A and B are shown apart, each in its own frame.
Chain A
Amino acid sequence: MFKQCPAIMKRELFYMWRDKGLRNILLIGPLLGLFLFMGIYSHPRIDHITTAVVDLDQSEASRQVIAELRNTQDLEIACYPENFKQLEELVKRGEVMVGVVIPENYAKNIALQRQTRVAVVIDGANITYATNAASAVLTVTRNLGAQVGVKTLIARGIQPNQAKEAYQSIEFREEAWFNPTLNYAYFLVLALVLNIWQQCCMLASCMNIVGENGVRSWLQIKASGLSAFKLFCSKSIVHISVFMLLVLPVYYLAFVIFKLPLNCGIITFLLFTLIFAVSLHSLGTLISSFSSNAVDASRFGMVIALPSFVISGFTWPIAAMPQWFQPLAWVLPQTWFFQGINYFVLKNPGWEMMNRYFLVLGMMAVLCYSLSALFTHCFQARFR
């Protein structure tokens, strides 16, 4: 026992190190991802969204609209096309994301207290851009609407103070908790890097059984009388330790160097990462147990690992997914992990809420390892 286990662990570590492809993927993948994503999301929010204004009225009032648009940091007026056709071309070519069309008689209609319509077009081809642009335009139009409303009330003989109060009687104050500046980096970077990490780990886990009994040296292991349990434990301890060692520099860079928020304690977060690593390893082992060779195991593993981030509900809420699909999403350990890191990193809702994440991931690990043992036994009986 005391000689066999360290020897198996040493060999497993050497194997992972000597396999250049696996080594590079495991070592470089997550770190490269971190630098890449931190660079991409280094600017906390999208601003200076290119905007074109078609001013068909050319009046004092229309120039006031343009001034309001200019005052917002989120929008940047890039050009003034002469008509709607030109604006359409600019949006199609991607030169501007937002188009504002001030109609003819805009000033006259306001003066006559008639309804007038300012058209705002947004390029919806890029959802992130479109959402930010819509939010920025909404802020401007809300201010403008209020100003015009106040002026209208004053024109009808209501005192300026009363007119202002009429518009400010209900104040809706938006306040984003946990990520006050709505910083994309705080929300997305760590999850994206951990997504790369979990894919690499899954790839390595998928070799746990088939990497051994799928090669000729398995005959020597079997002939030696080494117990499958001892072999499995020794290999798995090395795998999970390597997974954790790989994530440590990522966490150091993310939380210490790049100052990403971590509202829970680092020990709690590491424990959560560890239970996920075990759960992920169990899933990889399960895949490995029924795969006929290493290539098949990698394929199955990637089929699960690649879409798991999208399925996890991190970027698109699970509640917005079809009813029938939602239980499937919760079957994957990745869903519990990505949901969990969002809570841990930004909210820290306390142990009472988070203990079920630990419990579920732990139970998944027990189930997957048990099924792996069963499949390995059955498949070996069938193949032999």
Chain B
Amino acid sequence: MEPVIKVSNLVQKIGRQILFNGLSFEVLPGESFGVFGLRGAGKTTLLHILAGVDRFKSGQVEVLGYNIKKSEKFKRDLGLVTQEKSLFLDMTVVENLDFMAALKKSSRSDVYQMIERYALKDLLAEPVILLAMGSFQRLSLACAMLNRPKLLIADEIIKDFDLYSRNLILRELRQFQAEGGTCVFGFSNIDFCEQLSKVGWLENGKLKVYEPESARAEWHRQIKLYAEQSDSHYV
């Protein structure tokens, strides 16, 4: 089976600091791959590189069969939800959907479908900047799904917002995967592991791939270890 994402020896530098020191990993079709790491580990940078938004120093990245340094065709089948609010904040909900549909060459019926699926009907005339976090995230995912992507890249998609939005987003993500979609998530809350099929732990410029349960166990092991070290320091 051809991987949806194939990363070989990826190096990224910011100034003189080496952020990724030769990352290599693959994501297979239908997988739900999570990139886990603490703040500053480079989760967002990695996701932006995979989405073709950021450039990288060296290495090779193939997404949906395309070398992303040579082609942007993979973007036709890509959906992106960013950690920070990246919708058009000067526009309303419906204007965002319309504009994103135009950018992604999606049809009018796709817009109506997303409004229905993400329960946005009552929010259409609202300026995006005034939306509550949960509603904003529903809209972000709706915009990302407008082109019926094969690959969804979502950074910190589940945050501490209302449970209605949380459940709706998780339901839609499950549906997307059930239809054969591939997901790459950036996350920093280990509880999100239960939504994933693989976890890539990003630390000190390297990525180590775990099964979700192993990742959770490693997290608890590290918490215990640091707690003991901290206790012994005070003793």
Contacts and interface: CB of A to CB of B under 8 A. Distances in A.
A384 B13 CA distance: 10
Given A225-B75, A381-B55, A384-B54, A216 B86 contact: yes
Interface string B171-200: 000000000000000000000000000000
Most buried by A among B73, B89, B104: B104
B99 A11 contact: yes
Nearest to B56: A384
Interface in B56-99: 72-73, 75-76, 78, 80, 82, 84-91, 95, 98-99
A216 B51 contact: no
Contacts of A126: none
Main SS class of interface, B: loop
A223 B105 contact: no
Given A7-B99, A216-B84, A384-B55, A224 B91 contact: no
B3 interface: no
Nearest to B54: A384
Nearest to B77: A225
Interface residues of B, number: 30
B76 A220 contact: no
B100 interface: yes
B184 to A, nearest CB: 13
A168 interface: no
Given A11-B99, A384-B54, A224 B86 contact: no
A223 B78 contact: yes
Given A11-B91, A223-B51, A224-B75, A3 B82 contact: no
Nearest to A220: B86
B52 interface: yes
Contact of B103 (A19, A216, A220): A220
B86 A11 contact: no
B100 A220 contact: yes
A360 B202 CA distance: 55
Contacts of B85: 216
A295 interface: no
Contacts of B82: 216, 219-220
Given A219-B48, A220-B100, A225 B90 contact: no
Interface in A194-232: 215-226
Contacts of A220: 80, 82, 86-88, 100, 103, 143
B39 to A, nearest CB: 19
Contacts of A19: 90
A263 interface: no
Given A11-B88, A217-B89, A220-B80, A4 B102 contact: yes
A243 B51 CA distance: 36
A217 B85 CA distance: 8
B132 interface: no
Nearest to B51: A223
A14 B91 contact: yes
B235 interface: no
A168 B52 CA distance: 86
A219 B80 contact: yes
Contacts of B86: 216-220
B34 to A, nearest CB: 19
Given A219-B80, A225-B76, A7 B89 contact: no
A384 B55 CA distance: 6
Contacts of A381: 55
A236 B185 CA distance: 36
Nearest to A15: B90
A259 interface: no
Contacts of A14: 90-91, 95
Given A11-B99, A220-B80, A381-B55, A3 B105 contact: yes
Contacts of B103: 4, 7, 220-221, 224, 226
A114 interface: no
B28 to A, nearest CB: 22
Contacts of B95: 11, 14
Interface string B97-113: 01110111100000000
22 contacts: A7-B98, A7-B102, A7-B103, A14-B90, A14-B91, A216-B84, A217-B89, A219-B48, A219-B51, A219-B53, A219-B86, A220-B80, A220-B82, A220-B87, A220-B88, A220-B100, A221-B103, A222-B52, A222-B53, A224-B100, A225-B72, A381-B55
**Which 3 A-B pairs give the minimum distances between C-beta atoms?**
A225-B75, A7-B102, A224-B103
Interface of B: 48, 51-55, 72-73, 75-76, 78, 80, 82, 84-91, 95, 98-100, 102-105, 143
Given A4-B105, A384-B55, 20 more contacts: A4-B102, A4-B103, A8-B102, A11-B95, A14-B91, A216-B82, A216-B86, A219-B51, A219-B82, A219-B86, A220-B87, A220-B103, A222-B53, A223-B52, A223-B53, A223-B75, A223-B78, A224-B75, A225-B52, A226-B103
